[in-house]
Structures are given as structure tokens and as C-alpha cells.
């Protein structure tokens, strides 16, 4: 059970003389929940975008399930088993919750032709319903996603990320703007999903409480480099991390 899902090897990336990420390396194994934290401007987003293939690192490379991902289109990456959520709300507001979830799965089923000539739900209604039930959204199944509350949309967003059965899910600030009750719900669902499917998570998050309680391992970035790595307990007591956050 220690196969590597994501490996980041000596990545550096700079923008016009500013080193956003310098020589970062780490690996994530199957089933792990990795937290990626750091103060603003620490290079989290740049690193995240390199992992997603959206940015090409100046040096080093990223492999997901053994595939190099530099300059890869997001749809291609998704086909390799990478799901993600976004910082901002990212549902399709004028489609029903069910359609949102089906869309998230349909490109992984059948061919272009079967998606034109086959059934309109691509045979995914049952599976989508299971996913909706998993996130306890049954009562909202046929509502327009745009009419849902913020927290509910976050759940839909997460459900979409899981619909294609990814081996790696990248969560970009999942807790941002979500109220406490909903947050507990979301965290519990993520944990359950991780337990049931052995899916790997990489989480970028500001909410320390959330990260500490969700993740099994945490990497701390400051000024583009890794300054600490370890279990939540280790990170909590790491002096360097406290300095980085407090000292700026």
C-alpha cells in the first residue's frame, strides 16, 4: 500500500526574477491526505499549478501515476485520474445538481460517438445518484446548482471532483467561506471517502484547524521552499513554522 501517486522532483519556478518556488521535492502515496500550507506568497499556488500541469516549471518535473504532467491540458490530466476543486465557486449554475454530477463523469464513459448517439445521461444517473446521496444532497438533486447555498455548492463541487473515481484529488481551499456546520459535514464526508476509496488528497488550505484535523501529513512552504514536513502534531510544535507565520 505504499505506491506513489504523486511525485514532485526538484521543482523551481520564477517569475521575472522572483523565485516563487525553489527546489521543492516531495512524494505522496496512495491513500494519504497531504496538507500544503504556508503564508500568503509562499508559493503554494505556483506549486499547485505546476502539479496541475498549468505552469511549466523552470526546473524539475512532476509525475502523477507515472505520467509527466508538464504543459498537459486539464482535461487530459483529468483522464489520468486527477480530480480537483477550485477556490472560487465552480459549479455550473444553470444546470441541475444531477446534471453537474453527470457531466463530471460522462467524459470517462464511452466514446465521442456514444455520447452523441447514446442515452442522454450517458448511463450515469444511478452512479450520480449514489454520489448525491453520499454528500446528502438528495433533496437538491433537481435544483439549479446556482440556486444552492454557498456551502451546498462546495459539496457539489467536491462531488464532481470524485465522480470520475480519481486516484488523486487536489482540493484548493475547500474550507474557504464555509460555515462551521457545513465544514464539519464536508470534512466528515472527505474522510469517509478517503477511507472507503483509498483516494489520495492534496489539500491547500488556510484554515489551520481544518487542515490539522483532516490531513495525515503536512508540508509547510515559506518563500518558495519547504521549511517543515510532518504529521499535524509535529507541525503544530515546529518553531520554524510558528516563526514563518508570525514573523512574516
Partner 1 sequence: MSRKHILFAAIALLLLIFVPMGQKNYIIYVLTSWLMFSIAAMGLNLTLGYAGQISLAQASFMGIGAYITALVTLAGYHWVLGWIAAMGATFVIGLLLGYPALRVQHHFLAFVTLAFNTLVFLVLRNEEWLTGGSHGLVGMPRPDFFGISTGKNLEFYYFVLVLFVISALVFSWIVHSPWGRAFKALRENPVRAESLGVDTRRITLLAFAIGSAFGGGAGAIMTPLVQFIEPGSFGLIHSLKILLMVVVGGAGFYYGPMLGAAVVILLPELLRFTEGYYLMIYAAMVIVLMVYSPGGLIGLGHKIMARVRPKKEVRKDMAKGAQL
In the complex, the residues that contact partner 1 under the rule CB under 8 A are 73-75, 77-79, 84, 86, 90-95, 99, 102-104, 106-108, 112, 115-118, 120-122, 144, 146-147, 160, 163-164
Of 114 and 231, the one with the shorter C-beta distance to partner 1 is 114
Q: What are phi and psi of 111, to 5 degrees?
A: -115, 175
DSSP state of 117: H
CB of 90 to partner 1, least distance (A): 4
d(CA 9, CA 17): 21
Cβ contact 82:166 at 8 Å: yes
Cα dihedral angle (42, 43, 48, 49), rounded to 10 degrees?
Answer: 150
Of 95 and 208, the one with the shorter C-beta distance to partner 1 is 95
CB of 51 to partner 1, least distance (A): 13
Cβ contact 141:98 at 8 Å: yes
CB of 17 to partner 1, least distance (A): 28
CB of 103 to partner 1, least distance (A): 5
186 Cβ neighbours under 8 A, 6+ residues apart: 151, 154, 155, 158, 174, 175, 178
Cβ contact 138:130 at 8 Å: no
Among 41, 40, 47, CA closest to 10: 47
Of 147 and 231, the one with the shorter C-beta distance to partner 1 is 147
Of 121 and 191, the one with the shorter C-beta distance to partner 1 is 121
- CA dist 184 → 121, 175, 191 (Å): 32, 10, 11
Of 42 and 153, the one with the shorter C-beta distance to partner 1 is 153
Of 111 and 181, the one with the shorter C-beta distance to partner 1 is 111
CB of 228 to partner 1, least distance (A): 30
Is residue 176 classed as helix, strand or coil in its secondary structure? coil
CB of 111 to partner 1, least distance (A): 11
Place of cell 488528497: 201
Amino acid at each position: 500500500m505504499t505506491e506513489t501517486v504523486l511525485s514532485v522532483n526538484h521543482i523551481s519556478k520564477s517569475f521575472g526574477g522572483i523565485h516563487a518556488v525553489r527546489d521543492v521535492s516531495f512524494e505522496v502515496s496512495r491513500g494519504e491526505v497531504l496538507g500544503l500550507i504556508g503564508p500568503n506568497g509562499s508559493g503554494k499556488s505556483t506549486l499547485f499549478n505546476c502539479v496541475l500541469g498549468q505552469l511549466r516549471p523552470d526546473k524539475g518535473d512532476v509525475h502523477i501515476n507515472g505520467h509527466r504532467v508538464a504543459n498537459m491540458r486539464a482535461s487530459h490530466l483529468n483522464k489520468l485520474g486527477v480530480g480537483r476543486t477550485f477556490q472560487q465557486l465552480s459549479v455550473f449554475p444553470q444546470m441541475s445538481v444531477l446534471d453537474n454530477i453527470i457531466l463530471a463523469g460522462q467524459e470517462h464513459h464511452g466514446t465521442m460517438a456514444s455520447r452523441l448517439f447514446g442515452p442522454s445521461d450517458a448511463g450515469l444517473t444511478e452512479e450520480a445518484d449514489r454520489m448525491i446521496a453520499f454528500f446528502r444532497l438528495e433533496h437538491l438533486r433537481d435544483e439549479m446548482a446556482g440556486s444552492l447555498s454557498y456551502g451546498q455548492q462546495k459539496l457539489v463541487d467536491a462531488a464532481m471532483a470524485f465522480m470520475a473515481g480519481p486516484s488523486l484529488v487536489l482540493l484548493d481551499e475547500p474550507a474557504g467561506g464555509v460555515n462551521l456546520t457545513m465544514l464539519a459535514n464536508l470534512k466528515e464526508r472527505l474522510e469517509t471517502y478517503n477511507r472507503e476509496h483509498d483516494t489520495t488528497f492534496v489539500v491547500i488550505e488556510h484554515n489551520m484547524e481544518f487542515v490539522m484535523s483532516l490531513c495525515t501529513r503536512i508540508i509547510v512552504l515559506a518563500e518558495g521552499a519547504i521549511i517543515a514536513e510532518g504529521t499535524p502534531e509535529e507541525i503544530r510544535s515546529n518553531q520554524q513554522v510558528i516563526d514563518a507565520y508570525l514573523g512574516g
